[in-house]
Amino acid sequence: MKFGKSWLIILVRGGEMSDESKDEDWEPDEDLILWMRQHCAKIGIGGVWSPDGSGCTYERIDLDTWSLVRMMEHPNAISHHVRFKKLFIAAGLEVEDENPVQYPAPMSFEESERQRLEEKREIALNWRCECHLPLAEFDLEKRIDVFIEEKDVPYNGDTHPVQIWACRIICPSCDKEVNMDPDDYQLLAGNELYMQWRDSEGGIYKAQTRIEVRDLVDSGVMGVALGSKLTGTEEKLPPWMWGTYCIYIPAGLQEKSED
């Protein structure tokens, strides 16, 4: 049995509100314990686990020990931790929870989204290659977007074709090609690098913000509007670049600007 990221909270919480006596009675079932064992084994020492919406962040500090490093100041976070601790122990792991960094519960939806993004970024900075080099230390600008397949997905009682892509980056230490989910790449590299695309000749199309487009037009410089394929060579473009207005930087000019 396999659980997605957001399933976990529902499984652990069972959809109820915080209630201390229920937390004490709660016991994880066999499927959840097995999942926990497998999940924790996949995260390297120094890696973190921050179940979406739980308000708790755990770090793996050695083979069998985890530590609660951050916790939101909210009764639900305390309640989640009581249950996660039982789950860790049932999976044969130890948890230290004496000194988590406490942070205030968000005051608004925007604040909560910002905190979630920050937590996710922290996790992304810990992603590592098989050789243990953090992905954040790769040359993220030299990403190649790879078209994987087109899938028909159900949409409004009909089906709708969706393109699956991967962002490929290469390890500067062991030369391994790492294919990332585009959303994960965006999280790791940031929006500016995500919103540029390299053609087969090494030229870069860099998407412009609305203000940048205004300045381009005012200064009389022409950009390029992108569709689903590159005009002329018919190279496929990744969906997140569709409909953007870009400046084009040929390979030759990029080298000159680095000197």
| 115 versus 126: smaller Cβ distance to Zn ion | 126
- Residue that has been written with the tokens 């087109």 in this structure: 150
The torsion angles phi and psi of 146, rounded to 5 degrees, stand at -115, 125
Q: E strands of the chain, at which residues? A: 48-49, 56-60, 65-73, 94-96, 101-104, 144-155, 158-170, 177-180, 196-198, 204-207, 224-225, 245-249
Shortest distance, CB of residue 127 to Zn ion, whole angstroms? 12
- Binding residue for Zn ion, selected from 129, 169, 180, 195, defined by CB under 5 A: 129
Burial 171-181 (b: 16+ CB within 10 A, else e): beeeeeebebe
| 66 versus 138: smaller Cβ distance to Zn ion | 138
- Binding residue for Zn ion, selected from 45, 164, 174, 217, defined by CB under 5 A: 174
Shortest distance, CB of residue 238 to Zn ion, whole angstroms? 24
Using rule CB under 5 A, residue 171 touches Zn ion: yes
Using rule CB under 5 A, residue 131 touches Zn ion: yes
Shortest distance, CB of residue 136 to Zn ion, whole angstroms? 13
Shortest distance, CB of residue 128 to Zn ion, whole angstroms? 8
- CA dist 47 and 66 (Å) reads 10
| 105 versus 136: smaller Cβ distance to Zn ion | 136
Beta partners for 49? Answer: 58
- Which of these ranges, 63-71, 72-80, 167-175, 213-221, lies near Zn ion under the rule CB under 5 A? 167-175
| 138 versus 205: smaller Cβ distance to Zn ion | 138
| 129 versus 189: smaller Cβ distance to Zn ion | 129
| 103 versus 127: smaller Cβ distance to Zn ion | 127
Long-range contacts of 128-133, Cβ-Cβ distance < 8 Å, separation of 24 or more: 128/44, 128/47, 129/171, 129/173, 129/174, 129/176, 129/178, 130/174, 130/176, 131/171, 131/173, 131/174, 131/176, 132/44, 133/171, 133/172, 133/173, 133/174
Residues 191-230 that bind Zn ion (CB under 5 A): none
Size of the site for Zn ion (CB under 5 A): 7
- Binding residue for Zn ion, selected from 160, 176, 214, 236, defined by CB under 5 A: 176
Using rule CB under 5 A, residue 178 touches Zn ion: no
Tally of CA atoms within 13 A in the half-sphere of 72 that contains its CB: 21
Using rule CB under 5 A, residue 139 touches Zn ion: no
Site residues (vs Zn ion, CB under 5 A): 129, 131, 133, 171, 173-174, 176
